Each structure stands twice: as structure tokens, then as C-alpha cells.
């Protein structure tokens, strides 16, 4: 695939037709499993360069490539995928409501989120770093963010890792999405934009007015969010993700989007969290 996936039409969600004809019934978990889908609705980001972004009406990026690969291995071709823009603030809700079948949207696995979502993966381990204006040499590590204005995206844990986990007294400036952080930074309305290095690399690519400071301070385990309780689907996706690394597809996807960004890329199979 050339890095672009067309947005398919409305998904037709089909459960186990043979089972229905035979008079058997599926359990609730089986009925909602991604293993019983003729087509898939997949939540991705729409404003993150290199990961999930809409360009000329098409979704493209690393997360989109991973989602398409997983779907194909589940028996769903690109023509039967509907991608749905899914901001950080609604990722749990759209899974719980059944608006999407899975979420592949820089979705870090956390203990709190695991109480609401079943995660496959991680499919990649990123690291939180910080993006600043090139003209600003005062920020060299996360500790230099004290009393600095940082971007606080609704539904994201990145800024909380600074103010709560690191106990740094930064000044959060609210934003609806990561895409909204970039103009704030460039226009001097915030001093720093701190989140996963792959997200930052996508925004910084080809620009000279901003740069990543290169001082990572967390591990961000990107998981594929499934409806809570879909353990069979989770285990199937984990097997697919292992194959994605073994056949070289993961490295190819990463190189396609981040080879010239300066991001430190890993081609090793991440250690899976286990399905629960």
C-alpha cells in the first residue's frame, strides 16, 4: 500500500451468520468481537502527521498502516474499512458505544484505561519528549518546564505526566487536539509541546522553527483498543502484530513515515501486556 487508504463507505457489521442460521447464539463478548466482522470501523487520528492525518480526503500514517495490516490479516480488506477520526477525549466512549470496532490512535496503554478497554499490543513503544521553538534554548529537559506554558490536550495524559507524575509546576494551556498545539507553539502562546516522540516527529518534519529537545522521560506503549472483554480478538491481534514485525512490515511502515525526522525508531517486537 502506498501510504494512503481510501475512506470506505458505511460499515456493515455482520456477526456469525452461519451460527444464526443454525439456531445457535453467540455470547455478548463473541457477538461484539472483531473476529466476527465482515467490515470494520477503525478509530484513528485525523490531524497527526506521520501517524493519522487526512490528506485529500484520505487517511494516512503509521497508525493507519498498522490498522490496515491488522484488518487484512483478520480477513477485512481495505475496501471494507471505514476510518473514523477519533480524538483522545472520546476513545473509550466510541468503543463502549460501538461506534468503532477498534482504535489505533496513539493510544497509550495505562492501568486506568485498561479498566474500560481491552488492549492488544503494544504495537510500538514511543517515549515522551518535548518540542520547543528553535529560538528558545532555555528548555533542555522536562525539569526546565517549571513555570512554562505547556499544551494540555483534552483526554491526553501527556501533560499530566509533567504536572502530576513529575510534580513539575508547569502552566497547562488547554487544547482540543495535538494539531491545535502546533500553532500555539509557533505563535508563542505556549512554550513547549510535550508528548510522544513519534507525534512530535511528525509535526516537526521539514520545519526549522521547532525542534525536539531529545530528552525522553517515559515509555508510551501504543495499544490497539478493543471493546472490553474481547479477549479472543485481543489474542488474535497480538499474533498478527508479532507477524507484522517478523515479516518486516513494521520496519517498513516506520521508515515510510519517520525515516527523515530524526526520531529514534525501534524495530523490535514490543513486549505485549497480555489480554485482560
The 10s digit of each residue's pLDDT in 46-103 is 999 999 999 999 999 999 999 999 999 999 999 999 999 999 999 999 999 999 999 9
| Cα end-to-end distance, the chain, whole Å | 32
Q: Determine the 3-state secondary structure of 68 from DSSP.
A: helix
**135-177, pLDDT tens digit by residue?**
999 999 999 999 999 999 998 889 999 999 999 999 999 999 9
CB 133 within 8 A of CB 251: no
CB 219 within 8 A of CB 101: no
Q: Are residues 68 and 152 in the same domain?
A: no
Q: Are residues 21 and 114 in the same domain?
A: yes
Total structural domains in the chain?
A: 2
**271 lies in some domain:** no
User: Mean pLDDT across the stretch 118-146?
Assistant: 96
Residue 253: φ, ψ to 5°: -65, -45
**The pLDDT of residue 265:** 87
**266 lies in some domain:** no
Residue 34: domain span: 17-126+222-258
Angle at 251 between CA 246 and CA 257, to 5 degrees: 155
CATH of the domain at 76: 3.40.190.10
**213-255, pLDDT tens digit by residue?**
999 999 999 999 999 999 999 999 999 999 999 999 999 999 9
Q: Are residues 199 and 229 in the same domain?
A: no
Neighbours of 207 (CB within 10 A): 12
Q: Are residues 144 and 68 in the same domain?
A: no
How many residues in total does the chain contain?
A: 276
Alpha helices in the chain (DSSP H): 17-21, 28-31, 62-73, 91-97, 111-114, 158-160, 178-186, 197-204, 231-246, 249-258
**270 lies in some domain:** no
Amino acid at each position: 500500500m502506498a501510504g494512503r487508504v481510501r475512506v470506505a463507505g458505511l460499515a456493515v457489521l455482520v456477526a456469525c451468520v452461519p451460527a444464526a442460521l443454525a439456531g445457535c447464539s453467540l455470547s455478548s463478548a463473541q457477538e461484539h468481537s472483531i473476529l466476527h466482522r465482515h467490515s470494520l470501523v477503525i478509530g484513528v487520528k485525523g490531524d497527526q502527521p506521520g501517524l493519522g492525518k487526512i490528506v485529500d480526503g484520505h487517511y494516512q500514517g503509521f497508525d493507519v498502516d498498522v490498522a490496515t495490516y491488522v484488518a487484512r490479516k483478520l480477513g477485512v480488506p481495505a475496501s471494507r474499512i471505514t476510518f473514523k477520526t477519533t480524538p483522545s477525549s472520546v476513545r473509550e466512549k466510541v468503543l463502549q458505544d460501538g461506534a468503532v470496532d477498534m482504535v489505533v490512535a496513539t493510544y497509550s496503554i495505562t492501568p486506568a484505561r485498561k479498566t474500560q478497554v481491552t488492549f492488544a499490543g503494544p504495537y510500538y513503544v514511543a517515549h515522551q519528549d518535548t518540542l520547543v521553538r528553535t529560538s528558545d534554548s532555555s528548555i533542555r529537559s522536562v525539569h526546565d518546564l517549571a513555570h512554562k506554558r505547556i499544551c494540555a490536550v483534552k483526554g491526553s495524559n501527556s501533560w499530566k505526566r509533567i504536572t502530576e507524575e513529575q510534580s513539575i509546576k508547569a502552566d497547562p494551556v488547554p487544547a482540543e487536539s495535538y494539531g491545535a498545539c502546533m500553532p500555539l507553539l509557533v505563535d508563542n502562546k505556549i512554550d513547549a509541546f510535550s508528548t510522544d516522540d513519534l507525534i512530535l516527529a511528525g509535526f516537526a518534519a521539514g520545519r526549522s522553527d521547532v525542534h525536539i529537545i531529545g530528552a525522553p522521560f517515559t515509555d508510551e506503549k501504543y495499544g490497539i483498543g478493543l471493546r472490553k472483554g474481547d479477549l479472543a480478538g485481543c489474542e488474535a491481534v497480538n499474533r498478527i502484530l508479532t507477524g507484522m514485525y517478523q515479516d518486516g512490515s513494521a520496519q517498513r511502515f516506520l521508515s515510510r513515515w519517520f525515516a527523515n525526522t530524526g526520531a529514534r525508531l525501534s524495530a523490535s517486537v514490543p513486549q505485549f501486556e497480555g489480554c485482560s
